Chains A and B, each alone.
Chain A
Amino acid sequence: MTAAGSPQGVAARSRRTVQLERRLDVPRWLPYLATLGAVAFALLVSAMILAAVGGDPIRSYLHIVDSAFGDIGVISDTMVKATPLILTGLACALAFRMRLWNIGAEGQLLMGAWGASAVVLVPLLPPGAPALVVIPAMTLAGFAAGALWGFIPGLLKARLAMNEIIATLMLNYVAALWIAFWVFGPWSEGGFQLTAQFPREAWLPRLTDLAAQVPALGGLTVHLGLAFALVAAVALWFILRRSRWGYEIRLTGDSPPAARYAGIDIARNTIAIFMISGGLAGLAGMAEVSGVVHRLQQAISPGYGFTAIIVAYIARFNPLGVIVAAILFGALILAGREIQPAGVPGMIQGIVLFSLIASEVVLRYRIRLVRG
């Protein structure tokens, strides 16, 4: 089927015209090439903008590479930033695969951080409980709090057909204020805007904790949360690709009418996906407070839940691809802290997302130059 006469057909006014032809099948390599091309294009555009506002794009980019992958120490730091991105990226990828727009990973992450903190700070466990009890309890509480924050928009979407984008976004703000209340109020440490440091039993083990036995691991801050993230990615890949339920989700995402015709309970799956999605983001929050900052404070996320949207998209919703994309964006966040002006990393993220979705046109159409 040709789309001649559509706006794509009017590119060149001279003899040659560009025509777009509907693709009937997509070569396997093309999506990867399109993604690579889109990212390269986005980096080029960002470089031009950087140069235009008086920056030095080449130095900035080299700086990013060097301060994110330069030696084993910073690679470890990059993985620390990638950990919450993998978990929130999975949260988004899972929901988006069913075409549920969970834009609330940020709020779900915050609630997960709060839930995990509550185990220590309320406290829900007697003081002095061993790490083998505390860590699983925090993990569970973090997942549960995130899942609850996902349940609300899931229920509103499934039962009242409410727009989930607005609902999840609004809940992000509510979650941020909820955290602010606890760190300014009941859990404030001596009037400061952060809680007391968690006891050692509530810290996720880090590689550097093994430095006494293996000196080479000294200073490496990678924590057990990374293992959570990798296991979750593999599990999710398996569920989506190999299980009957995963098939239901993919079918619902591709064609809701077909799913309804097949007798799939879309409302139930909507709520379940929102809860798992929220739970994964909650795990990211738990991993941040327990593995990195060791206390609850307002600024525990530089927008992981929003970057996750782009991570999920780059991975084309493939859970294993999320790992790769999350490491790249972890590097951008890690190195981006030192790049001036401060808005640059966010801007690059947006441009990457733009060129990614624009690049999809080559997956749907074959571009042809036609004489005459």
Chain B
Amino acid sequence: MDFVTIMAAGVATGTIYLFAAVGEIFAERSGVLNLGVTGMMLMGAVGGFATVVATGDPWLGLLVGMAAGGLLSLLHAVVTIHFQADQVVSGLALTFVGTGLARVLGEGLSKAGATSLLPKLTVPILSDIPIVGPIFLRDQSVLVYAGYLLVPAAWYWIHRTRPGLNLRAVGEYPAAADAMGVNVYRLRYLYVFMGGLLSGLAGAAITLAIQPGWFGDLTVGGRGWIAIGLVIFAQWDPLRAAVGGYLFGAIDRFLLDVQGPENFFGIRNPVYYDHTLTFFLGMLPFVLVIVVLVVGSREAVRKRIGAPAALGVPYIRGERGA
């Protein structure tokens, strides 16, 4: 149990949170809250894993997993954008459907043996930099590197490009965006779909790279919801979402490792001697999400940062209001 190992593992598992959170940021920035992240991640996880079991090709699995998440998200898009249904309930329904469907499709997959994984890479020279090298650049999955590229790209897209400006306009004040000639409906569809692709990617990252195997709905567990919490904590900013994702990944790993040693600096490790205490360790990430959101919301109030103004509000062309 040392700092570098925990952080390196944190970056790997944090990549799962990162993909899901960035996807959700895109959807929410366009004004559509999608609480179905867990369902989309499970579809991505099962789609990717079933493909690699059937074909042995993890890259194909990655594509199928992303497509599965994206397809599921379209259900949410149709119901909330076209039928103007409540986004909260539709997102919950998406979680039910995705979870149920993934369990149906994953029938028998838990017995699958070892599968081929996406490759791991070590960056030459740079990985020898003390601390930073071994944490970020040594023996990490290609998807971890994809995360390094995705985060700045997403930030740049949202904050520095014309389409990104349109995206923010649609989420803040769709009527004005519409008046400027932006197609509100099309953009919302697009970004909900993008969120679905990235959630599918997050799920596929679990089964094809970070923690391979199919364990029913426990494959994703509470991580979809933690990712949604991270979006609020990140104040809809991909850079902050990445930091939060890696941090929660590191906490996941720390909670596993802390059970190992008998002593810390000569003090008896209570968790080592009484394993029922590990249940309290397991509570920590969930409690931490609440704490982080309480602290984060006060900071947001102080800095006057809020959710996209039209988040959760269906846009109806020609009617009053945002």
- Which of B114-122, B150-158, B194-202, B283-291 binds A? B283-291
A184 touches B279 (CB 8 A): yes
Encoded as 1 (CB less than 8 Å from any A CB) or 0, chain B from 15 to 54 comes to 0000000000000000000010001000000000000000
User: Which of A5, A171, A343 touches B317 (beta carbons < 8 Å)?
Assistant: A5
B286 neighbours in A (Cβ, 8 Å) = 170-171, 173-174
User: Which of A156, A165, A178, A346 touches B35 (beta carbons < 8 Å)?
Assistant: A165
B67 neighbours in A (Cβ, 8 Å) = none
A357 touches B283 (CB 8 A): no
Within 8 A of B (CB), among A137-183: 156, 160-163, 165-167, 169-171, 173-174, 177-178, 180-181
A181 touches B279 (CB 8 A): yes
Is the C-beta of B140 less than 8 angstroms from some C-beta in chain A?
Answer: no
B280 neighbours in A (Cβ, 8 Å) = 177, 181
A185 neighbours in B (Cβ, 8 Å) = 274, 276, 279
Knowing A354-B79, A357-B90 are in contact, say whether A160-B294 is a contact too (CB < 8 A): yes
Alpha-carbon separation in the docked complex, A309 to B94 (Å): 13
Within 8 A of B (CB), among A328-349: 340-349
Query: Which B residues contact A (CB, under 8 angstroms)?
Result: 35, 39, 75, 78-79, 81-86, 88-90, 92-107, 185, 222, 225, 228-229, 232, 274, 276-277, 279-280, 282-283, 286-287, 289-290, 293-294, 297-298, 301, 316-319
Q: Majority SS of interface residues in chain B?
A: helix
Alpha-carbon separation in the docked complex, A180 to B279 (Å): 7
The total number of A-B Cβ pairs within 8 Å is 156
Is the C-beta of A200 less than 8 angstroms from some C-beta in chain B?
Answer: no
A350 touches B298 (CB 8 A): no
Alpha-carbon separation in the docked complex, A173 to B106 (Å): 24
Is the C-beta of A361 less than 8 angstroms from some C-beta in chain B?
Answer: yes
Instruction: Kindly provide the distance from the CB of A85 to the nearest chain B CB, expressed in whole angstroms.
Output: 15
Alpha-carbon separation in the docked complex, A347 to B94 (Å): 9
B276 touches A184 (CB 8 A): yes
Alpha-carbon separation in the docked complex, A346 to B102 (Å): 10
Query: Which A residues contact B (CB, under 8 angstroms)?
Result: 1, 3, 5-8, 49, 53, 101, 103, 156, 160-163, 165-167, 169-171, 173-174, 177-178, 180-181, 184-186, 306, 309-310, 313, 340-351, 353-354, 357-358, 360-361, 364
A310 neighbours in B (Cβ, 8 Å) = 93, 96
A170 touches B289 (CB 8 A): yes
Closest to B274 in A: A185
Knowing A163-B293, A353-B89, A354-B79 are in contact, say whether A347-B276 is a contact too (CB < 8 A): no
Instruction: Kindly provide the distance from the CB of A138 to the nearest chain B CB, expressed in whole angstroms.
Output: 24
17 A–B pairs (Cβ distance < 8 Å), ordered by A: A8-B82, A49-B104, A162-B293, A166-B232, A166-B293, A167-B290, A177-B280, A177-B282, A177-B283, A341-B103, A346-B100, A350-B97, A354-B93, A357-B79, A357-B83, A358-B78, A358-B83
B79 touches A3 (CB 8 A): no
A171 neighbours in B (Cβ, 8 Å) = 286, 290
User: Which of B78, B84, B88, B104 touches A364 (beta carbons < 8 Å)?
Assistant: B84
A169 touches B225 (CB 8 A): yes
Instruction: Kindly provide the distance from the CB of B178 to the nearest chain A CB, expressed in whole angstroms.
Output: 11
Instruction: Kindly provide the distance from the CB of B282 to the nearest chain A CB, expressed in whole angstroms.
Output: 5
